[in-house]
Amino acid sequence: MSNAKRVLITGGAGFIGSHLCDLFLAKDHRVICMDNLITGKIENIRHHLKNKNFKFVKHNVSEYIDVRGKIDYILHFASPASPIDYLKYPIPTLKVGSLGTHNALGLAMAKGARFLLASTSEVYGDPLVNPQPESYWGNVNPVGPRGVYDEAKRFAEAITMAYHRYHKLDTRIVRIFNTYGERMREEDGRAIPNFISQALNDRPITVYGSGKQTRSFCYVSDLVDGLYKLLMSKENDPTNIGNPNEMSLLALAGTIIKLMGSKSKIVYRPLPVDDPKVRRPNIAKARKILKWEPKIRLEEGLSKTIEYFKSIKE
């Protein structure tokens, strides 16, 4: 197609990255999926491997990126993204947020490509403001165990804005809040895959702390829709994308137990260091500028996710 775009997605074999590959291929664009498979999985993109518009490149973007030919969009999603991952890979997490972002921005400069950075609600740390608007600067412990991810993403935002201001690069920054859905890993370590996996295997469901800490959960199809709308917008400053419906982790565990008809009991474990007490996006900006808000109800999204976890267990 003459209007087909060529898109590079770093971290494209990951949970969210693979859904972005689906989206752009469905729009008849050409996709280069780049991933070093530390936390991404070939299984997430296997259905595209024979597609002539799809190319997988195994590469660590913290090293120099060389892609021949034109690129219209670069979506930088490469990074470990769950506490269990970035505690296991602290140095690679810092490198992909700093060196990887620098390399991806340099490529965007060379190609004249529009650049979208996947940032995170973790830039708000353990927030003292709830819900969190984009204007909030956060409450982050830079030397705590979670700091490797929080500060990597904060640096990534800073260098992206520097390229935008100094080099006039066309950039977007999305702050992604808790997202769930098909292709999450069982060993991901985050609440929803943990709870579903434990319930499927009739194990106790582990809740950290009192379980009263809150989160808000956005189904992956809603997130990807918001990401695309942001990429197509003219908004350069950070934008929250997430579901503003807040609930406690204890309530989430109860919902999953009910949906699955599980007999699993809830057990309590000590709260991890610097674990946020609240996490909820203010999405007024996304509603106004992107005309976006999530559509999938939690029970519907959880049911789809549960079916996925059942399918990979079989």
If you ran DSSP here, which 8-state letter would residue 277 be given? Answer: S
Query: What does the pLDDT profile of the chain (314 residues) look like in tens digits?
Result: 468 999 999 999 999 999 999 999 999 999 999 999 999 999 999 999 999 999 999 999 999 999 999 999 999 999 999 999 999 999 999 999 999 999 999 999 999 999 999 999 999 999 999 999 999 999 999 999 999 999 999 999 999 999 999 999 999 999 999 999 999 998 888 999 999 999 998 899 999 989 999 999 999 999 999 999 999 999 999 999 999 999 999 999 999 999 999 999 999 999 888 888 999 999 999 999 999 999 999 999 999 999 999 998 87
Give the pair of three-digit tokens for residue 274: 């610097």
What's the pTM?
A: 0.97
C-beta separation of 243 from 131 below 8 A:
no
CB atoms within 10 A of CB 288: 9
Which residues does 150 contact at the CB level (< 8 Å), separation at least 6?
Answer: 122, 123, 125, 140, 141, 142
Active site residues: 149
Query: In DSSP terms, which residues pair with 175 in a beta bridge?
Result: 119, 240
Q: Which of 122, 310, 300 is nearest to 218 (CA)?
A: 300
From the number of C-beta atoms within 10 Å of its C-beta (0-12, 13-18, 19+), residue 208 rates as: middle
Q: Please give the single-letter amino acid code of residue 119.
A: S
Domains of the chain: 6-183+218-243+281-295 (3.40.50.720)
DSSP 26-72: HTT-EEEEEE--SS--GGGTGGGTT-TTEEEEE--TTS-----S--S
Q: Which of 287, 31, 237, 286 is nearest to 117 (CA)?
A: 237
Give the pair of three-digit tokens for residue 262: 């599980």
